[in-house]
Amino acid sequence: MRIATWNVNSITARLPRLLAWLESSGTDVLCLQEAKTTAEGFPAEQLRELGYECAVHATGRWNGVAVISRVGIEDVVRGLPGDPGYDGAEEPRAISATCGPARVWSVYVPNGREVEHSHYAYKLEWIEALKAAVAGDAAGSRPFAVLGDYNIAPTDDDVWDPAFFEGSTHVTPAERAALASLREAGLSDVVPRPLKYEQPFTYWDYRQLCFPKNRGMRIDLVYGNEAFAKAVSDAYVDREERKGKGASDHAPVVVDLEI
């Protein structure tokens, strides 16, 4: 079984590449972030023609998550129970579903913007709510994972230059501690070092030739429970999908499971 996560940075802009990638990659389940569309505008029919069902949580031009599966979708939960919300509103940042033998969450963790910004505090609160929401599934015997754009680089080795990011979000001790606390819920990073690349970055800014210069970050992560981690047979970042015209600024992260 092949499961992947990909921040597509607008499914409308990326649809031809997404459809082609699904056909060529052999992916069974895709957790998608930053759909940047409404649920009604999501291209469910085009995906259905390829044999995929969709569960979508999206409300407009920002955020938006989905689970796309060709092995079935059941028990869909839209939104994060206990979501702290931002500016009085809950944002479409989490969706979960059971797909064949595994249960997955697709999450788009808040960016945080700046350390002194209220969005940073919201980010930390949101991760705490996520930890509480997934604890039950994480402790179970069924393969379970939370996949997505976490907007946190776990260690200094996960950014191209730690000094460049000093004082900014994505690398602060508080964010990294919040991410590490998911281990208390029974989850661990199952893709610590993908085999295909020495520096397994997943995101490169569009500006300043960051991708050609490999000035990236590893912020798209797969956190699985023990049953999920034990089933992993291979994992990699599909760096090729970041190349060329019309690419997202994120690359897909792919995990193969023997289940």
Binding positions for Mg(2+): 7, 34, 149, 151, 249-250
218 and 236 Cβ atoms separated by less than 8 Å = no
For this structure, is 189 an active site residue?
A: no
Choose, from 83, 149, 158, 220, the residue flagged as catalytic: 149
Q: How many C-alpha atoms does 4 have within 13 Å on its Cβ side?
A: 25
Task: Report the distance separating Cα 36 and Cα 147, nearest Å.
Answer: 18
Q: Helices marked H in 186-225 — which ranges?
A: none
HSE at residue 211, side-chain half, CA atoms within 13 A, is 18
Catalytic residue, chosen from 52, 108, 122, 150, is 108
Yes or no: say if 167 and 246 are a contact pair by the CB < 8 Å rule: no
CA distance to 13, 52, 53, 191, 194, per residue, from 197 (Å): 27, 29, 31, 12, 6
Q: What pairs with residue 38 in β-bridges?
A: 59
Q: Is 83 a catalytic residue?
A: no
Give catalytic status of residue 108 as yes or no. Answer: yes
Give the number of other CB atoms < 10 A from CB of residue 17.
16
Phi-psi region of 17 (alpha: psi -120 to 50; beta: other; left: phi over 0): alpha
Q: How many residues are given for the chain?
A: 259
Provide the annotated binding site. 7, 34, 149, 151, 249-250
What angle do the packed helices 173-180 and 118-138 form, to 10 degrees? 10
Active site residues: 108, 149, 250
